[in-house]
Amino acid sequence: MFPVKMADDLPSEFDVIVIGTGLPESIIAAACSRSGQRVLHVDSRSYYGGNWASFSFSGLLSWIMEYQENSDIVNESPAWQEQILLNEEAIALSKLDKTIQHVEVFCYASQDMHEGVEEAGALQKNHSPMTSANSTEAANSACLPTEDESLSTVSGEVLTEQTPGSALEVNDVEVTRVKESGRDKTCMLSTSKEGTSENVPIEEDIAKQPKKNRITYSQIVKEGRKFNIDLVSKLLYSRGLLIDLLIKSNVSHYAEFKNITRILAFREGRVEQVPCSRADVFNSKQLTMVEKRMLMKFLTFCMEYEKHPDEYKAYEEITFSEYLKTQKLTPNLQHFVLHSIAMTSKTTSSTIDGLKATRKFLHCLGRYGNTPFLFPLYGQGELPQCFCRMCAVFGGIYCLRHSVQCLVVDKESRKCKAIIDQFGQRIISKHFLVEDSYFSENTCSHVQYRQISRAVLITDRSVLQADSDQQISILTVPAEEPGTSAVRVIELCSSTMTCMKGTYLVHLTCTSSKTAREDLEPVVQKLFIPYTEMEMENEVEKPRLLWALYFNMRDSSDINRNSYNDLPSNVYVCSGPDCGLGNDNAVKQAETLFQQICPNEDFCPPPPNPEDIVLDGDSLQPGTSESSVVPEANSETPKESANLWKPEEHSE
Residue 634 phi/psi, 5-degree rounding, is -145, 175
pLDDT reading at 193 higher than 80 = no
Q: pLDDT digits over 88-133, tens only?
A: 999 999 988 899 999 999 999 887 655 556 665 443 333 333 443 3
Q: pLDDT digits over 448-477, tens only?
A: 999 999 999 999 999 998 888 899 999 999
Q: Look at residue 532 and tell me if it is in a domain.
A: no
Same domain for 389 and 324: no
Same domain for 383 and 418: yes
Residue 346 to residue 340: CA distance in whole angstroms: 12
By the 8 A CB rule, do 582 and 242 touch? yes
Q: Look at residue 521 and tell me if it is in a domain.
A: no
Residue 249 to residue 605: CA distance in whole angstroms: 5
pLDDT reading at 510 higher than 90 = yes
Confidence of residue 612 (pLDDT cuts 50, 70, 90): low
Q: pLDDT digits over 361-418, tens only?
A: 999 998 998 899 999 999 999 999 999 999 999 999 999 999 999 999 999 999 999 9
Query: Would you tell me how many other CB atoms lie within 10 Å of the CB of residue 83?
Result: 17
Q: Could you give the percent of the chain with pLDDT greater than 90?
A: 55
Q: Look at residue 8 and tell me if it is in a domain.
A: no
> Domain end: 565, 597, 629, which one?
597
Domain that holds residue 343: 277-364
Confidence of residue 558 (pLDDT cuts 50, 70, 90): confident
Q: Look at residue 61 and tell me if it is in a domain.
A: yes
CA atoms 53, 58, 60, 63: torsion sign? negative
pLDDT on residue 175: 29
Same domain for 443 and 323: no
By the 8 A CB rule, do 282 and 291 touch? no
pLDDT on residue 205: 44
Sorted by sequence, the CB contacts under 8 Å of residue 538 that are 6+ apart come out as: none
Number of structural domains found in the chain: 2
Residue 557, H or E segment: none
Sorted by sequence, the CB contacts under 8 Å of residue 323 that are 6+ apart come out as: 312, 315, 351, 354
Give the chain's end-to-end CA distance (angstroms, integer).
42
Nearest to 295 by CA among 316, 321, 274: 274
CA distances from 281 to 328, 501, 636 (A): 18, 32, 21
CATH number at residue 338: 1.10.405.10
Q: Look at residue 514 and tell me if it is in a domain.
A: no
Sorted by sequence, the CB contacts under 8 Å of residue 102 that are 6+ apart come out as: 133, 515, 516, 517, 550, 551, 552
pLDDT on residue 82: 84
Nearest to 607 by CA among 449, 343, 392, 303: 392
pLDDT reading at 163 higher than 60 = no
Residue 471 phi/psi, 5-degree rounding, is -105, 140
Distance of CA 38 to the CA centre of its chain: 28
Q: pLDDT digits over 201-210, tens only?
A: 434 443 444 4
DSSP string, 42-108: E-SSSSSSGGG-EE-HHHHHHHHHHHHHHTT--PPPPGGGGG--TTEEEEEBPSS--SEEEEEEEE-
Nearest to 335 by CA among 426, 275, 265: 265
Mean pLDDT score of the chain, rounded to an integer?
A: 80
Confidence of residue 288 (pLDDT cuts 50, 70, 90): confident
CATH number at residue 55: 3.50.50.60
Residue 218 to residue 112: CA distance in whole angstroms: 7
pLDDT on residue 166: 33
Same domain for 385 and 357: no
Q: pTM score > 0.95 for this model?
A: no
Distance of CA 386 to the CA centre of its chain: 13
Confidence of residue 540 (pLDDT cuts 50, 70, 90): low
Same domain for 435 and 291: no
Same domain for 442 and 322: no
> Domain end: 333, 364, 395, which one?
364
Q: Look at residue 369 and tell me if it is in a domain.
A: no
Q: Look at residue 251 and tell me if it is in a domain.
A: no
Sorted by sequence, the CB contacts under 8 Å of residue 200 that are 6+ apart come out as: none
Q: Strand 16-19 to strand 183-186: parallel, antiparallel, or no bridges (unpaired)?
A: unpaired
CA distances from 170 to 113, 269, 490, 632, 642 (A): 32, 36, 21, 23, 11
